[in-house]
Amino acid sequence: MLWRDARSGELRLLVIGLIIAVAALSSVGFLADRVGRALERDAGQMLGGDLKVDSDNAPPAQWREQARSLGLDTVTTVQFPSMATVGEQAQLVSLKAVEPGYPLRGTLRTASSPGEQASEAASGIPERGTVWVDSQLLVLLGIGMGDTLQLGEEAFRVARIVTYEPDRGMQFVNVAPRAMIHSADLPATQLLGPGARLDYHFLLAGAPGAVSAFERWVTPELAKGQRLDTLESGRPEVRRALDRAQRFLALVALLAVLISAVAVALAARRFMLRHRDGMAVMRCLGASQGQIVRMLLAEFAVVGLVASAVGAVLGLGVHVLLIAALAGLIETSLPAPSLMPAVQGLVVGTWLLLGFAMPSLAQLRHVPPARVLRQDLASVQPRGVLGYLVGAMGFALIIWWFAGDLRLAGTVAGGFLGAFALFALAGAACLWLLGRVRGRLGGSPALRFALAGLVRRTASTLTQLCALAVGIMALLLLTMTRTDLIDGWQRTLPADAPNRFLINIQPDQRAPLTAFLKDAGIHPAWVAPTVRGRLVQINGQAAGAAQYDEPRAQRMVDREFNLSYAEQLPDYNRIVTGRALDPQAMEVSLEQDIARLLKLNVDDTLTFDVAGELVTVRISSVRTVAWDTFQVNFFAIMTPAALEHAPQTFLTSFHLPADQAGVLPKLVQAFPNLTVFDVDAILGQLQSVLDQVIDAVQLLFGFTLAAGLLVLGAALTATRDERMREAAVLRALGATRAQLARAQRVELWAIGGLAGLLAAGGAQVIAFALSRFVFDFEISPGVWPWLAGVALGMAAAWAGGIVALRGVLRAPPLVTLRESA
């Protein structure tokens, strides 16, 4: 029976549905499995030691003493952004100063020139007076090996190229190339002034017992701004980012599985309807219900295993494309694929068969033998509904399993199921309207035949419509995210929006810097004072992470705030509640989101630890901040009375026209301690990362569109016998094959066009919601999504119809009528 069904094509759609579902999930599974095992393998290297303590300040001397007493090796590294100059050229770099012995775990690999084979550094770290750099820095500054690079007040000779830095990890956004120097050279650069954004890493390595003992000792000693990283954490920020990306990709894959499940159910129902007569004959020849069940289970167990195996192999190939699409995000060698994702694919394929195919197939055992004589005997049993419910519950568990987050999985799955339902309602309304007006329409017989077919096969039409619309909507939404949403965000920025930030401006540099910029024709928006402070009390009660459940709120309480002061708020900030600042009073204005996150209100009192002194202020207002304007903004702006005498530096932003690029090197030479952030370059790198992620997601959404086409094909195939009988009757009544072909073509185009319109409408609504409530800017509705949706829908429906309905109009009318008699 399996061989006969395979040769006749009865299993084709069901097998393709399983292959698409398993391939979609296993491709993400292979990616997640390899990246996850790479993180575990490289955890020690990604820390640079067995234990790491991150801090805003140099680690206390007693930490080294305690580590030495336990027999642990220690090194300290310092990292911060700075400017590197060569003549008239300047470039932002990520400067890292390292001590002898670095790294404690892993190897630092360098090359003597760009493109050469990397080798482990012989001396371990740069020699005094030399700098090791990323190869891209040479290109950016137009220099070569042996040339001199200026860092602050000190000149360094470029000695080697850094090719692999163990504790750098997998970098998602590397806003500046690396420059690495010996820690003993750092004071000579004079870059360690007040306000410098220093990040200290205290690394330890040794016997596991000693590492654990130090971890237990140092944990209660940690102050705010100090964080402990262990091998188990394995760079948690990287792991969380990868987890989120993998969960999103898994949910996209689950969408393809969801639509494939509909195709499997339709294909299984057609299989059941076409095998009723054969089962009735077998029952007449003595086959029992148990024998029929065992036969079907054996046949479909083979089908499920073979289709799932093919899907897993296809997923293995697709995951290679995903890795290529995410090459810029995954900068480490990955271990070989394991069998676990393939096993997961087999489980999903088996469950799809059990949950969405077997309810229909199980009804074949109830076919009465008398059906051989009476074709009108029904064989559909109500108990099939229970099987579909079991399948739906199992599918919900699969969503939770792969997503790892019940709320996220429910939101995404519910959103697309809601879109499916809305599309069904809209499609039903259109079909109802067609049913009311089609009798009054004139035109060719082909048009009347097409409209009659759409209205008569309502359930089939709606199934085709919704599945195809969901797949097209997903693709259109991604395309709009890449184009319209990004263009809309860029339209919010004026032509002269700031594209450079200057930080670490010392108080005595404020006036000469402002004069320098004005002489160059550049007018900074606001040279704002910046004061570092920690929130220690709220309304007289100690503030701590334990008071909050949200991870972001916990991090905000534990970190240092960048505070500022002004007599009045910037004009691009808008007060939501409260009043303007009173310059003579001890007051603060908070940004709306941070006030909500920390559950603060107007008239609450906050106490900050500023350079060892407590500053208590009252909240006078809560305001909105337009972060995307690239103006100087702060979460908290106080009055001069509160912060005017605190240790401070300054920062500003300004617009640097392209034709004045030569001003920047002169600026850095005049003020070498300043750090310049090129926002254009950072945004370009962010856009590059976004493009890579979108490419990967679009690749998976290809599975979604394929699943939608499969449902279209399954629904059309389910009506194949009915269409053949209709064609035979119409041919007998005088209709020509050309007329029927045109009617079939018009019907498919109508389904595809309507699906495209619904998809474009859904994508526009979601894009509008994203732009209005998430990104906070307006987008102008375009015509291209509607045109692209209709064109894509009509082409997909026509292509699917050609495959699914091939040969329907070529069957001789007499033979068809005799078979259906």
Task: Report whether the peptide linkage leading into residue 103 is cis, meaning its omega lies within 30 degrees of zero.
Answer: yes
Q: Which amino acid is at 69?
A: S
Whether residue 207 is found in the same domain as residue 251: no
SS3 417: helix
Average pLDDT over residues 800-809: 68
Q: Which amino acid is at 803?
A: V
Which pLDDT belongs to residue 457? 77
Higher pLDDT, 343 or 417: 343
pLDDT at 378 over 70: no
User: Would you list the DSSP string of 231-291?
Assistant: TTTSSHHHHHHHHHHHHHHHHHHHHHHHHHHHHHHHHHHHHHHHTHHHHHHHHHTT--HHH
User: What number of residues does the chain have?
Assistant: 821
Alpha-carbon span 362 to 365, nearest angstrom: 6
Whether residue 293 is found in the same domain as residue 366: yes
pLDDT at 376 over 70: no
Looking at every residue in the chain, the average pLDDT score rounds to 79
Q: Where do the H-state alpha helices sit in 353-485? A: 358-361, 384-403, 406-437, 445-456, 458-480
pLDDT at 774 over 60: no
**507 within a domain of the structure (yes/no):** no
Higher pLDDT, 291 or 695: 291
Consecutive H or E run containing 188: helix 186-189
**270 within a domain of the structure (yes/no):** yes
Average pLDDT over residues 803-816: 63
Which pLDDT belongs to residue 375? 57
Q: Cα angle at 776 between 553 and 574, to 5 degrees?
A: 75
**516 within a domain of the structure (yes/no):** no
Average pLDDT over residues 506-523: 89
> For the ranges 294-303, 330-339, 792-801, which has the lowest average pLDDT?
330-339
Q: Of 538, 512, 514, 539, give the one whose Cα is nearest residue 525.
A: 514
- Structure-token match 């690079």, residue found: 149
User: Does residue 602 contact residue 622 with C-beta atoms inside 8 Å?
Assistant: yes
Encoded tokens for 672:
């070498």
Alpha-carbon span 552 to 545, nearest angstrom: 10
The number of beta carbons lying within 10 Å of the beta carbon of residue 414 is 10
Average pLDDT over residues 249-254: 67
pLDDT at 408 over 90: no
Q: Which amino acid is at 102?
A: Y
> For the ranges 15-19, 619-623, 812-816, which has the lowest average pLDDT?
812-816
pLDDT digits (tens, 9 = 90+) for 297-310: 888 888 888 988 99
pLDDT digits (tens, 9 = 90+) for 26-81: 887 787 777 767 766 665 666 788 888 888 888 999 999 999 999 999 999 999 88
User: Would you list the DSSP string of 617-654?
Assistant: EEEEEEEEE-GGG-S---SEEE-HHHHTTS--EEEEEE
Which pLDDT belongs to residue 122? 53
Which pLDDT belongs to residue 600? 94
Categorize the per-residue pLDDT at 382 as very low, low, confident or very high, splitting at 50, 70 and 90.
very low
Query: Please, is 293 exposed, middle or buried when counting C-beta atoms within 10 Å of its C-beta (0-12, 13-18, 19+)?
Result: middle
Which pLDDT belongs to residue 379? 47
Residues ≥6 apart with Cβ < 8 Å to 565: 529, 531, 637, 638, 639, 640, 642, 643, 644
Q: Of 366, 394, 156, 360, give the one whose Cα is nearest residue 266.
A: 360
Whether residue 714 is found in the same domain as residue 605: no
**413 within a domain of the structure (yes/no):** no
Residues ≥6 apart with Cβ < 8 Å to 162: 108, 109, 110, 132, 133, 134, 178, 180
Categorize the per-residue pLDDT at 447 as very low, low, confident or very high, splitting at 50, 70 and 90.
confident
Which pLDDT belongs to residue 154? 92
Max mean pLDDT among 69-83, 116-130, 134-148, 779-793 falls in: 69-83
Whether residue 222 is found in the same domain as residue 261: no
**208 within a domain of the structure (yes/no):** yes
Higher pLDDT, 561 or 639: 639
pLDDT digits (tens, 9 = 90+) for 720-756: 666 777 777 777 777 777 777 788 888 888 888 888 8
SS3 567: coil
Per the structure, how many domains does the chain have? 4
Alpha-carbon span 574 to 542, nearest angstrom: 30
Higher pLDDT, 796 or 389: 796
Encoded tokens for 342:
């393939």
Average pLDDT over residues 365-371: 72
Consecutive H or E run containing 20: helix 12-41
Q: Of 165, 208, 164, give the one whose Cα is nearest residue 50.
A: 208
Whether residue 375 is found in the same domain as residue 266: yes
pLDDT at 148 over 80: yes
Which pLDDT belongs to residue 241? 47
Whether residue 313 is found in the same domain as residue 338: yes
User: Does residue 679 contact residue 631 with C-beta atoms inside 8 Å?
Assistant: no
Encoded tokens for 534:
């920690």
Whether residue 213 is found in the same domain as residue 246: no
> What are the angstrom distances between the C-alpha of 738 and each of 196, 438, 528, 745?
79, 21, 77, 10
* 213 DSSP assignment: H
Q: Of 702, 707, 717, give the one whose Cα is nearest residue 21.
A: 707
**510 within a domain of the structure (yes/no):** no
- Write down which residue in 654, 681, 698 finishes a domain: 654
* DSSP bridge partners of 259: none
- Structure-token match 């310092």, residue found: 78
> What are the angstrom distances between the C-alpha of 755 and each of 218, 368, 461, 526?
62, 40, 10, 52
pLDDT at 463 over 70: yes
Encoded tokens for 217:
């000792």
Average pLDDT over residues 686-710: 66
Encoded tokens for 118:
């990397």
- For the chain, report the end-to-end CA distance as a whole number of angstroms: 26
Which pLDDT belongs to residue 95? 92
The number of beta carbons lying within 10 Å of the beta carbon of residue 138 is 20
Alpha-carbon span 151 to 431, nearest angstrom: 72
Consecutive H or E run containing 325: helix 289-325
pLDDT digits (tens, 9 = 90+) for 560-610: 888 999 999 988 889 999 999 999 999 999 999 899 999 999 999 999 999
Q: Which domain holds residue 270?
A: 1-45+239-404
Which pLDDT belongs to residue 617? 96
Which pLDDT belongs to residue 235? 46
Q: Which amino acid is at 370?
A: A
Sign of CA dihedral 410, 307, 693, 491: negative
Average pLDDT over residues 491-498: 69
Categorize the per-residue pLDDT at 343 as very low, low, confident or very high, splitting at 50, 70 and 90.
confident
Higher pLDDT, 379 or 451: 451
User: Does residue 673 contact residue 504 with C-beta atoms inside 8 Å?
Assistant: yes
> For the ranges 499-508, 517-526, 660-669, which has the lowest average pLDDT?
660-669
Whether residue 273 is found in the same domain as residue 162: no
Alpha-carbon span 163 to 135, nearest angstrom: 8
User: Does residue 618 contact residue 587 with C-beta atoms inside 8 Å?
Assistant: yes
Q: Which amino acid is at 675?
A: T
Encoded tokens for 569:
């708020």
**664 within a domain of the structure (yes/no):** no
Alpha-carbon span 720 to 700, nearest angstrom: 30
- Write down which residue in 230, 261, 282 finishes a domain: 230
The number of beta carbons lying within 10 Å of the beta carbon of residue 570 is 20
Which pLDDT belongs to residue 123? 57
Which pLDDT belongs to residue 554? 81
Backbone angles phi, psi at 200, to 5 degrees: -90, 140
User: Does residue 8 contact residue 681 with C-beta atoms inside 8 Å?
Assistant: no
> For the ranges 151-165, 213-227, 607-621, 708-722, which has the lowest average pLDDT?
708-722
Q: Of 38, 744, 69, 768, give the one whose Cα is nearest residue 332.
A: 38
Whether residue 684 is found in the same domain as residue 815: yes
> What are the angstrom distances between the C-alpha of 785 and each of 323, 554, 755, 760?
29, 42, 13, 6
Higher pLDDT, 388 or 767: 767
Whether residue 369 is found in the same domain as residue 223: no
User: Does residue 656 contact residue 90 with C-beta atoms inside 8 Å?
Assistant: no
Max mean pLDDT among 71-85, 118-132, 244-258, 421-435 falls in: 71-85
Categorize the per-residue pLDDT at 168 as very low, low, confident or very high, splitting at 50, 70 and 90.
low
Q: Which residues of 453-484 are buried (b: 16+ CB within 10 A; e: fewer)?
A: bbbebeebbbbbbbbbbbbbbbbbbbbbbbeb
Whether residue 377 is found in the same domain as residue 431: no
Which pLDDT belongs to residue 234? 44
pLDDT at 288 over 60: yes
Categorize the per-residue pLDDT at 816 as very low, low, confident or very high, splitting at 50, 70 and 90.
low
Average pLDDT over residues 508-526: 87
SS3 433: helix
Consecutive H or E run containing 561: strand 561-565
Whether residue 637 is found in the same domain as residue 703: no
SS3 101: coil
Residues ≥6 apart with Cβ < 8 Å to 781: 764, 768
The number of beta carbons lying within 10 Å of the beta carbon of residue 379 is 17
**518 within a domain of the structure (yes/no):** no
Alpha-carbon span 237 to 253, nearest angstrom: 24
- Based on its alpha-carbon atoms, the radius of gyration of the chain, rounded to whole angstroms, reads 34
Alpha-carbon span 695 to 360, nearest angstrom: 38
> Packing angle between helix 289-325 and helix 276-284, nearest 10 degrees?
150
> For the ranges 52-66, 251-265, 636-650, 759-773, which has the lowest average pLDDT?
251-265
* Distance, CA of 145 to chain centre: 39
> What are the angstrom distances between the C-alpha of 338 and each of 243, 344, 443?
18, 11, 61
Percent of the chain with pLDDT over 70: 75
Average pLDDT over residues 542-551: 84
- Write down which residue in 170, 204, 230 finishes a domain: 230
Which pLDDT belongs to residue 424? 86
pLDDT digits (tens, 9 = 90+) for 345-365: 888 888 777 777 777 777 777
Alpha-carbon span 596 to 604, nearest angstrom: 13
* DSSP bridge partners of 501: 653, 677
The number of beta carbons lying within 10 Å of the beta carbon of residue 501 is 17
